[in-house]
C-alpha cells in the first residue's frame, strides 16, 4: 500500500505556546498504520528527526537540548554579573550580583521526568527524597469502594438479616454517611470519625438517649466496615478506617443487674390489655423476648399445634427457641381470631404495618399507666423476669441461656431441630408467674 502524504503541524507546549522550530509530521507507514515524527528543518531544507514518538514532553526536551548544543548555551541555576558602582563622594567599587536566569521549565520538567523513569533511585539520591526511589515498585491504586456500596454489601450478605435489623442498619449507616459527607472509603479521615463520635454523643446527651443508643450505632458502623474488608474489597483503606474507629467507644452502662417484673405487676399488666397486647406480653414472658424480638416474630416461626417457636435472633443470627405454654397459645389464637390479617408478621398495627421496638415500648407504657404500675417498670423487665425465674427456679443454666438467645456451644441446626431442649426452662417460668 503506498504511503499517504504527510501532514505537518507545529508543536505547542503544555501552556499552548508554540515551540519555535519544532514540528510534528503525521503520516502512515507502508501498512497504513499512523506514525508521528517530531523534526526540525535545518540548512538546505534538510530535517533533523527526533524519532517516532507520541511522547511530546520528551520530544520537546530533546529538541531544546539539541538547540542548546548548537548555540553552545548551558542551562544554569545561577548566573553572576559584575558592574562598577559610583558613590556620592566620587569613589567607585566593583559589585558582584547573582541572579537566576530564565529557565526553560518545559525542558527542566522533561529532564526530571526522564531521570525518574530511567533511574528513580538515583534521582531520589540527588533530591534527597528516598521515597521517590520506590516508584518503580508501586502500582496504580485501585478505585476505592463507594461508601454507599459498603452499606449495601452488609445488608445483602449471605446470612440474611431480619427486616427489623436491616432497617436499623440502613438508618445507622445513613446517619454515618450524612456526618462524614464523603464518597469513598479512601476519603475518610480522622476528623470525619471524630465528628461522627461527637454527633452521636451529642444526641445521647441532649435527648437523654441510653448508652445502648450510642453502642448500637458505633457497633453497626464497625460491623459494616469489617464485613466489607472480609470480602476482600479495598482492604488497605478499610483497615485504616477501622483503626480510626477505635475512638468510637460508647459510654459505660449504669449497670447490668436484671430488673425482673414481679408476678403481681405482670398480672396487673395483663388485666389492662386487650387480646393483642395480652398475646404480646404472654409470648414475651414465655420466650424471654426483648421488645424488638417479639416484634420480629413471624407466623412461620410458630407451630401452635406442636407448641414450639423457632427463629433466629435478628441482630446476631443466634437461634431462638421456646416451648409454648397452653395459655400463650390460647392468647395468640384469640388475638388472631379478633384481628385477622395477611401480613407475614404475627403482630401488626391497625394499618397492617409490622411493629418495631419503639412501637412496642409506647404501647407497653400506655398499658402500664392504665394498670397504675410504677414508671420504673420497663418492657425489658419482662425478659429479665423470665430469665431470672428460669435460673432461680432450678432450670439448667445452659437451657435458660438457649431460651434467652445466648450461644452455649451447640450447633445452630441442632437447636432448631430440638426446640424442646428448653422445655424445662419454659415450665419453670410458667410456674413462677402462674403456679400456685
- The residue with greater pLDDT, 127 or 378, is 378
pLDDT one-digit tens code per residue, 219-266 = 999 999 999 998 877 898 999 999 999 999 888 765 456 789 999 999
pLDDT at 77: 46
Rg (CA), the chain: 39
Is it the case that residue 1 has pLDDT exceeding 60? no
Is it the case that residue 74 has pLDDT exceeding 60? no
Spatial distance between the Cα atoms of 423 and 323, rounded to a whole number of angstroms? 5
pLDDT one-digit tens code per residue, 347-398 = 999 888 889 888 899 999 999 999 999 999 999 999 999 999 999 998 899 9
Every domain of the chain and the residues it spans: 7-71, 147-247, 263-434
- The residue with greater pLDDT, 382 or 1, is 382
Shortest CA distance to 275 belongs to which of 336, 324, 325, 323?
336
pLDDT band at 72; cut points 50, 70, 90: low
Percent of the chain at pLDDT > 90 equals 47
Spatial distance between the Cα atoms of 410 and 402, rounded to a whole number of angstroms? 9
pLDDT one-digit tens code per residue, 19-60 = 888 888 877 777 777 778 888 888 777 888 876 666 677 778
Is it the case that residue 141 has pLDDT exceeding 70? no
Residues 270-274, mean pLDDT to the nearest whole number: 95
Please tell me the least confidently modeled range out of 96-100, 213-217, 357-361: 96-100
Spatial distance between the Cα atoms of 21 and 114, rounded to a whole number of angstroms? 22
Range among 148-157, 228-237, 298-307, 314-323 with highest mean pLDDT value = 298-307
pLDDT at 356: 85
Partnered with residue 28 across adjacent β-strands are 34
Is it the case that residue 91 has pLDDT exceeding 80? no
pTM above 0.75, yes or no: no
Shortest CA distance to 426 belongs to which of 402, 407, 408?
402
Is it the case that residue 143 has pLDDT exceeding 80? yes
pLDDT at 3: 47
Partnered with residue 95 across adjacent β-strands are 83
Partnered with residue 41 across adjacent β-strands are 47
pLDDT one-digit tens code per residue, 302-315 = 999 999 999 987 65
Spatial distance between the Cα atoms of 168 and 418, rounded to a whole number of angstroms? 31
34-41 β-sheet, strand order? 7-12, 18-28, 34-41, 47-52
Where do the H-state alpha helices sit in 79-210? Answer: 105-118, 120-127, 147-155, 163-180, 190-206
Protein fold of 263-434: hpI Integrase; Chain A (1.10.443)
Amino acid at each position: 500500500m503506498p504511503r499517504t502524504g504527510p501532514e505537518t503541524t507545529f508543536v505547542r507546549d503544555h501552556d499552548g505556546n508554540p515551540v519555535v522550530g519544532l514540528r510534528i509530521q503525521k503520516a502512515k507507514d507502508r501498512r497504513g498504520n499512523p506514525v508521528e515524527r517530531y523534526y526540525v528543518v535545518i540548512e538546505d531544507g534538510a530535517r533533523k528527526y527526533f524519532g517516532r514518538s507520541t511522547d511530546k514532553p520528551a520530544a520537546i526536551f530533546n529538541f531544546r537540548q539539541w538547540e542548546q548544543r548548537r548555540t553552545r548555551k548551558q542551562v544554569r541555576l545561577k548566573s553572576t554579573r559584575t558592574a562598577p558602582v559610583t558613590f556620592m563622594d566620587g569613589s567607585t567599587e566593583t559589585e558582584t550580583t547573582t541572579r537566576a536566569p530564565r529557565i526553560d521549565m518545559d525542558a527542566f520538567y522533561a529532564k526530571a521526568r526522564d531521570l525518574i523513569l530511567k533511574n528513580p533511585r538515583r534521582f531520589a539520591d540527588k533530591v534527597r527524597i528516598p521515597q521517590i526511589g520506590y516508584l518503580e515498585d508501586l502500582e496504580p491504586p485501585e478505585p476505592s469502594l463507594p461508601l454507599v456500596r459498603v452499606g449495601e454489601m452488609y445488608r445483602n450478605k449471605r446470612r440474611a438479616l431480619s427486616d427489623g435489623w436491616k432497617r436499623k442498619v440502613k438508618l445507622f449507616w445513613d446517619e454515618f454517611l450524612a456526618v462524614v459527607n464523603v464518597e469513598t472509603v479512601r476519603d475518610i479521615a480522622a476528623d470525619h470519625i471524630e465528628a461522627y463520635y461527637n454527633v452521636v454523643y451529642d444526641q445521647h446527651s441532649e435527648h437523654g438517649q441510653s448508652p445502648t443508643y450510642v453502642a448500637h450505632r458505633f457497633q453497626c458502623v464497625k460491623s459494616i466496615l469489617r464485613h466489607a474488608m472480609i470480602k476482600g474489597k479495598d482492604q488497605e483503606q478499610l483497615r485504616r478506617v477501622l483503626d480510626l474507629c477505635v475512638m468510637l467507644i460508647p459510654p459505660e452502662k449504669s449497670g447490668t443487674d436484671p430488673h425482673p417484673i414481679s408476678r403481681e405487676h405482670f398480672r396487673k399488666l395483663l388485666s389492662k390489655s386487650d387480646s393483642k397486647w395480652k398475646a404480646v406480653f404472654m409470648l414475651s414472658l414465655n420466650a424471654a423476648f426483648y421488645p424488638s424480638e417479639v416484634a420480629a416474630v413471624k407466623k412461620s416461626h410458630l407451630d401452635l399445634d406442636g407448641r414450639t417457636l423457632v427463629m433466629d435472633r435478628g441482630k446476631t443470627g443466634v437461634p431462638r427457641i421456646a416451648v409454648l405454654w397452653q395459655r400463650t397459645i390460647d392468647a395468640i389464637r384469640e388475638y388472631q381470631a379478633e384481628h385477622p390479617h395477611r401480613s407475614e408478621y404475627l403482630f401488626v398495627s391497625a394499618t397492617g404495618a409490622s411493629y418495631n421496638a419503639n412501637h412496642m415500648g409506647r404501647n407497653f407504657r400506655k398499658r402500664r399507666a392504665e394498670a397504675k404500675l410504677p414508671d420504673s417498670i420497663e418492657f425489658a423487665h419482662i425478659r429479665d423476669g423470665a430469665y431470672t425465674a428460669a435460673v432461680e427456679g432450678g432450670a439448667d443454666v445452659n437451657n435458660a441461656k438457649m431460651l434467652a438467645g445466648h450461644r452455649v456451644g451447640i450447633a445452630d441446626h441442632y437447636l432448631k431441630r430440638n426446640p424442646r431442649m428448653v422445655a424445662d426452662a419454659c415450665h419453670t417460668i410458667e410456674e413462677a408467674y402462674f403456679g400456685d
